[in-house]
Amino acid sequence: MFKIFLDVIEIIIPITLIVFLKYIDKHNIDWSFKKWFINIKIKVIHE
């Protein structure tokens, strides 16, 4: 149960950051999303 909660947080936080960065600088959103996506891929591979 707690792990599911952490997974949900890990999904919500990056989306919030992406939306936030979108307002600041539209160039940052692509980089942030790619970095977040790469981190998820790495995490999935390690598990």
Task: Name the residue with higher pLDDT: 29 or 13.
Answer: 13
pLDDT at residue 11 in the model: 85
Overall domain count for the chain: 1
Mean pLDDT to the nearest integer, 30-42: 72
Tell me the pLDDT tens digit for each residue of 16-29: 877 777 776 665 55
Instruction: Give the DSSP per-residue string, 30-47.
Output: HHHHHHHHHHHHHHHHH-
Nearest alpha carbon to residue 17 among 33, 4, 39: 33
Which domain range does residue 37 map to?
A: 2-46
Quick one: tokens of 21? 């960065």
The pLDDT > 90 percentage for the chain reads 0
Q: Is the pTM of this model over 0.75?
A: no
Mean pLDDT to the nearest integer, 11-39: 73
